Amino acid sequence: MAWYNDANKFYKDLKIMKKILSIVGARPQFIKSAPLSKEIRKHFTEILVHTGQHYDQNMSPIFFEELSIAEPDYNLEIGSGGHGEQTGKMLIELEKVLIKEKPHMVLVYGDTNSTAAGALAAAKLHIPVAHVEAGLRSYNRTMPEEINRVLADHLSELLICPTETAVRNLKKEGITKGVYNAGDVMYDALIVNRKVAENKSKILETMNLRPKTYLFATIHRAENTDDKGNLKNIIEAFRQSKEIIVFPAHPRTQKMLKEYNLKLSSNLKIIEPVGYLDSLQLQTNSKKVLTDSGGVQKEAYILKVPCITLREETEWVETVDDGWNVLVGADKKKILRAIADLNPEDKQHTYFGTGNSASRITKILVDYFKVMSLSNHE
């Protein structure tokens, strides 16, 4: 047992002995993996698998470049498709990789189809799963993201939560073992990259924008893009606001705008999806953010930019509780009222940690394997 008292030797041998296979596939997962992957690789062998769920240049490769993420060991190139088709293809291909690599743990992030497929494929092969960003709940089962996150949580050995609210959500479902509040790893990424964005991003100059003269918008969730009435109401509210609105449009959103033949006004500046650094710079310098993205809500809060959420509910209830986020759905009147009147002055809290979540998560992983190794040697 004395061998394990030498922490440095234990960490060194752990890197040789233990293999963690990390699965990413979409923009928020690239951002979360950037700081955590760097920490994991100090103590483990990491195999990085990109499912290819996001594959457009502005939705995938640019994030690996800007965030200095290691090249994926596998790119499954799954691409788009219906939920069943996309998830099914991922399961087939991920199972092949897992059987070949034989990792000691599979790490999944967030709430995408890549998350659900990764957790399910690993669980079927009896490989422990660690879920980063566990415990989030909107309590809206019509959202595919809610199904994905609930499935991943109930299959996971380690449930790594970003907030105390997430810990409480899991307790309500009877999940208390292997649950940790490690803070939000996206906060780590934002702290590191906010200054980088300020120095490197040229998006304001390119678009001839002055700080605090425009709003920043993102729309990508099916409840808005696939419902003509909802998308029409949102776009009409944008028009009636008469504010300059910078709108990096997701490929599916662009497709539906054309399909519905919605009238677009000159104050709405629709551009192609942007990389992480440009997105941070646009958010930081906007007057307000309008979004249906969970990650953007949180980024806006941390950047101290008022957020108008184009949904009826949110997983990030802390941002609403503090008065920096308001839920308006696709209600045109509510959107316009929030654009005019939302000016929070409330003090913010450290709900999402202090920017050291990646190291805390890595310690949780190290401690888990240390306990497993000790148990096997008893």
- Tens of pLDDT, residues 76-108: 988 777 888 999 999 999 999 999 999 999 999
As a whole number of angstroms, the distance between CA 115 and CA 103 comes to 17
As a whole number of angstroms, the distance between CA 158 and CA 154 comes to 10
The dihedrals phi and psi of 367, each to the nearest 5 degrees, come to -65, -35
Residue 18's pLDDT band, with cuts at 50, 70 and 90, is: very high
Average pLDDT, integer, range 122-144: 96
pLDDT for position 62 = 79
SS3 assignment, position 186: helix
Beta-bridge partner residues of 307: 289, 325
Q: Which residues are catalytic?
A: 220
As a whole number of angstroms, the distance between CA 368 and CA 77 comes to 32
As a whole number of angstroms, the distance between CA 86 and CA 108 comes to 17
SS3 assignment, position 250: coil
Residue pointed to by tokens 């087939």: 92
As a whole number of angstroms, the distance between CA 294 and CA 314 comes to 7
Per-residue pLDDT tens digits for 56-82 = 544 567 778 888 888 999 999 887 778
Q: What DSSP string runs through 27-44?
A: HHHHHHHHHHHHHHTTTS
Residue 333's pLDDT band, with cuts at 50, 70 and 90, is: very high
As a whole number of angstroms, the distance between CA 87 and CA 116 comes to 8
26 pLDDT higher than 90: no
Average pLDDT, integer, range 31-44: 95
Residue 191 near residue 267, CB atoms below 8 Å? no
Task: Output the six-digit token pair for 332.
Answer: 């045109």
pLDDT for position 245 = 98
Q: What DSSP string runs through 113-143?
A: HHHHHHHHHHHHTT--EEEETTT-----TTS
Q: Report the largest interatomic distance among the alpha carbons of the chain, rounded to a whole angstrom.
A: 72
pLDDT for position 78 = 87
As a whole number of angstroms, the distance between CA 147 and CA 142 comes to 8
pLDDT for position 3 = 39
The model's pTM is 0.89
pLDDT for position 280 = 96
Q: Helices 27-40 and 185-200: crossing angle, nearest 10°?
A: 100
Average pLDDT, the chain: 92
Per-residue pLDDT tens digits for 154-208 = 999 999 999 999 999 999 999 999 999 999 999 999 999 999 999 999 999 999 9
pLDDT for position 347 = 85
Average pLDDT, integer, range 315-337: 97
Sheet of 45-50, strand order: 74-75, 45-50, 19-24, 105-109, 129-132, 158-161, 179-181
377 pLDDT higher than 60: no
pLDDT for position 11 = 57
Residue 133 near residue 168, CB atoms below 8 Å? no
pLDDT for position 64 = 82
1 pLDDT higher than 80: no
275 pLDDT higher than 80: yes
